[in-house]
A and B are shown apart, each in its own frame.
Chain A
Amino acid sequence: MRLFLAILIGKTISFLTKTLKTGGGSAAPGYYALKIEPKLVEKLAKKIPTNVIITGTNGKTTTARLLAHLAKEAGLKVIRNSTGSNLERGIASSLISHFTFPTSYFQLGVWELDEAAFNSVAPKLKPDIVVFLNVFRDQLDRYGEVDSVISKWTKTLDKIDSKTTILINGDDLKLKSLKTIFDGKTETFGVEDYKIVGESLEQIGENHKLDFEAKNVKLDGLNGSHFILEIRNLKLEISLPIPGIYHIYDAVAALAAAHHLNLPTNQLASSLTHFSPAFGRVEKIKDGFIFLIKNPAGATQVFETIAPQIKPADRLLLALNDNFADGIDVSWIWDAAVEVLREKWIGKSVICSGSRANDVAVRLKYAGFDTKSILVEPDLEKAFSEARIGLKGTVYVLPTYTALLELQEILVENGLKKHYWKEEG
């Protein structure tokens, strides 16, 4: 009865927030429903035959979206928390809004959980597969230090059934301890000749054994990449329509999970060719691109991906907010390799926006950007229009999470796209 009431309340709130346009309705319904029925997630997740959890600092949303895409293409009914709401209330919201009480018709749940939520929510979901993508320094004000993230994961794995399969990024040595402590099956994935060192991906000569490995990687600018995925004796030729080495990791993780779910292997490669990324993650807009940035590692990867593509008439807009969802500590911009962009930006203007626009401006200055080319405009709408006035090239917009949400509104108002919650999950 409590469960029914919780779902009813949740659905009502979801309807209201959407109708009143106060937001995407992605967190509030779950928040209130959990107050009524704290066991909501356990109870509803039990009704889904197979659940996959994806956690890690970077790439959760893209990996979840990739896996859901592959599963849907294979004909499965998939439920997932789709708008980057990866705390328990986001999971609850998703379960509520998609559930037709009292039975479920979903065959697969794909759940992205942030580093901290993993510990409280993962045991409740009773996952069949858990994917550990990576662990970097993130919005540390919320998650604590990297060492403590790993040690908490280790403790949580104790509460996970040994029938579960754990997929670990074998190139992230910080994750190594997870492989040794888990009782059940563990397998590794990664990219040939790469290793994660500190905040960045480094190319290395040495080989180590991976169960799922991307080989012969060929990057194709902002169009994407091509590689061969080796699964033991099996070789799949993959064309990935999203750019950057970091997205290859997401794809290999999703393909590894898909393989374990016994999705038909011969379809995987062709399904991937028409994959479209989540909003803000390499989002193509009319005259530019949006790349979400949120921590040193992710931002550095974005800088490295776009730097080689920059042409003389291009513009850059960086938007740094310090709301809770962004992380209230903006220190991380000093750990991101902003220097990667500098040479490409000599003589071109850069617009700094968001609630901490001034902090970005200072970071750019100390990265060697010419102060005359730095424009500070905290108001994102004004900054975005400034960036597009007389634009002859491409505008690269790099927002933090809440700036990205604001930007979506601005794009909608300007008729450049529809609301993100109206997009297909």
Chain B
Amino acid sequence: MKLNIGYLYPDLMNIYGDTGNVITLQRRCQWRGIEVKIINISVGNYIPTSQVGTQIDLFFFGGGQDQSQNIVANDLGKSEKSKVIRQEVERGVPLLSICGGYQLLGEYYQPAIGPRLAGVGIFPAYTVASKQRMIGNIVIRIQNAELRMLEKLSSAEQDGNNNSAFDTLNSELFLVGFENHSGKTYLKKGARPLGRVIKGFGNNGEDKSEGCIYKNAIGCYMHGSLLPKNPDLADWLIKTALEVKYKKEIELKPLDDTLENAAHQSALQKFS
């Protein structure tokens, strides 16, 4: 099996160790004998196409500084990328976006001064600049029910069944990370948050929601890096990507996650 990871704007959107997520996806595939190719997509590149859509099986989009974010917002709109990423997410291709990447995939970003930046419009959410810097460790809880709903959406597209890595979890899953943003994201009616904030600010520091899920696309504010300390989420992304690509149920070979789980647990105990 082979997995192509599309790394969106790695030169402009990679802050607070977001690259750790790509390293994690890559390693966890390699340890299972899944061949990985990382395709960097930035200003001046296009997303390589295939018969079904693009050659990308899994997108990653990290956070960036304001200046980079302007360049990227501009490029997403001007090039075909915005349209292509939207189509691919509709097709069920999984995507993980953090912070700035998450903001740009919403409907718009309203800076403190100046006109709105149009977003890609994947997440039914919008972001408004604020004066408050929301910094610190963050712990969120993902309810299984929310994830099962997510599964149903994706499997409807695939004609597959509802089994997912998350179904093996008895009750709930916690994610641990570190947030650092001043933009406040508000989910629109009907938008599904990724989880509920146990510790930290989350989307806006007001409504206890963190992140957003649309089909198999995830947006959130969690740096940390996120995936190394939350291997279940990493595996869910890999599994979903392969299932969409190969149109069949995939059973990932279990890995020894002793170190990852220890890091997850210690962060959980320390911060929640």
**Are A334's CB and B136's CB within 8 A?**
no
A145 interface hit (Cβ, 8 Å): yes
**Chain A contact residues, CB within 8 Å of chain B:** 137, 140-141, 144-148, 328-335, 355-356, 358-359, 361-363, 365-366, 371, 374, 376
Residue of A whose beta carbon sits closest to that of B177: A331
For the complex, what is the distance from the CA of A371 to the CA of B228, rounded to whole Å? 15
In the complex, chain A residues whose CB is within 8 Å of the CB of B135: 141, 329
**Are A332's CB and B24's CB within 8 A?**
no
> In the complex, what's the smallest C-beta–C-beta distance from A323 to chain B, in angstroms?
12
For the complex, what is the distance from the CA of A19 to the CA of B180, rounded to whole Å? 40
In the complex, chain A residues whose CB is within 8 Å of the CB of B266: 356, 358
B65 interface hit (Cβ, 8 Å): yes
Which of A148, A331, A361 interacts with B178 by CB under 8 Å? A331
> In the complex, what's the smallest C-beta–C-beta distance from B9 to chain A, in angstroms?
14
**Are B225's CB and A334's CB within 8 A?**
yes
For the complex, what is the distance from the CA of A335 to the CA of B267, rounded to whole Å? 20
Which of A137, A148, A361 interacts with B15 by CB under 8 Å? A137
**Interface residue tally of chain B, by bracket?**
20 to 34
B239 interface hit (Cβ, 8 Å): no
**Are B17's CB and A358's CB within 8 A?**
no
For the complex, what is the distance from the CA of A219 to the CA of B65, rounded to whole Å? 35
Knowing A145-B65, A371-B256, say if A361 contacts B23 (CB, 8 Å).
Answer: no
Which of B133, B228, B262 interacts with A366 by CB under 8 Å? B228
For the complex, what is the distance from the CA of A329 to the CA of B258, rounded to whole Å? 22
B53 interface hit (Cβ, 8 Å): no
**Are B137's CB and A334's CB within 8 A?**
no
The count of A-to-B residue pairs whose CB atoms sit within 8 angstroms is: 86
Which of A140, A358, A374 interacts with B16 by CB under 8 Å? A140
**Are B229's CB and A362's CB within 8 A?**
yes
In the complex, chain A residues whose CB is within 8 Å of the CB of B17: 331-335
Knowing A328-B136, A366-B27, say if A145 contacts B66 (CB, 8 Å).
Answer: yes
**Are A376's CB and B16's CB within 8 A?**
no
For the complex, what is the distance from the CA of A145 to the CA of B57, rounded to whole Å? 31
10 A-B contacts (beta carbon < 8 Å) = A147-B67, A330-B224, A331-B223, A335-B17, A358-B266, A359-B263, A359-B267, A363-B20, A366-B20, A374-B259
For the complex, what is the distance from the CA of A356 to the CA of B176, rounded to whole Å? 13
**5 closest residue pairs by CB, A with B:** A334-B20, A334-B17, A331-B17, A358-B263, A331-B16
Contact flags B230-258 to A (C-beta < 8 A → 1, else 0): 00000000000000000000000000101
> In the complex, what's the smallest C-beta–C-beta distance from B203 to chain A, in angstroms?
19
For the complex, what is the distance from the CA of A182 to the CA of B259, rounded to whole Å? 50
Which of B67, B137, B229, B259 interacts with A371 by CB under 8 Å? B259
In the complex, chain B residues whose CB is within 8 Å of the CB of A140: 15-16, 180
Known contacts A334-B20, A356-B266, A365-B259; 16 additional CB pairs below 8 A are A140-B180, A141-B135, A145-B66, A147-B65, A148-B66, A329-B16, A331-B223, A331-B225, A332-B17, A335-B14, A358-B266, A358-B267, A359-B228, A362-B229, A366-B24, A376-B262
**Are B66's CB and A361's CB within 8 A?**
no
In the complex, chain B residues whose CB is within 8 Å of the CB of A371: 256, 258-259
**Are B228's CB and A334's CB within 8 A?**
yes
In the complex, chain A residues whose CB is within 8 Å of the CB of B259: 358, 361-362, 365, 371, 374, 376
For the complex, what is the distance from the CA of A363 to the CA of B224, rounded to whole Å? 11
Residue of A whose beta carbon sits closest to that of B65: A145
**Are A147's CB and B66's CB within 8 A?**
yes
**Are B223's CB and A329's CB within 8 A?**
yes
Q: Which of A148, A334, A371, A374 has its CB near the most chain B CB atoms (within 10 A)?
A: A334
B260 interface hit (Cβ, 8 Å): yes
For the complex, what is the distance from the CA of A365 to the CA of B65, rounded to whole Å? 29
Residue of A whose beta carbon sits closest to that of B64: A145
**Are A335's CB and B19's CB within 8 A?**
yes
**Are B23's CB and A334's CB within 8 A?**
yes
**Are A362's CB and B178's CB within 8 A?**
no
**Are B224's CB and A331's CB within 8 A?**
yes
In the complex, chain A residues whose CB is within 8 Å of the CB of B133: 144
Q: Which of B17, B178, B260 has its CB near the most chain A CB atoms (within 10 A)?
A: B17
For the complex, what is the distance from the CA of A366 to the CA of B231, rounded to whole Å? 12
Q: Which of B178, B259, B262 has its CB near the most chain A CB atoms (within 10 A)?
A: B259
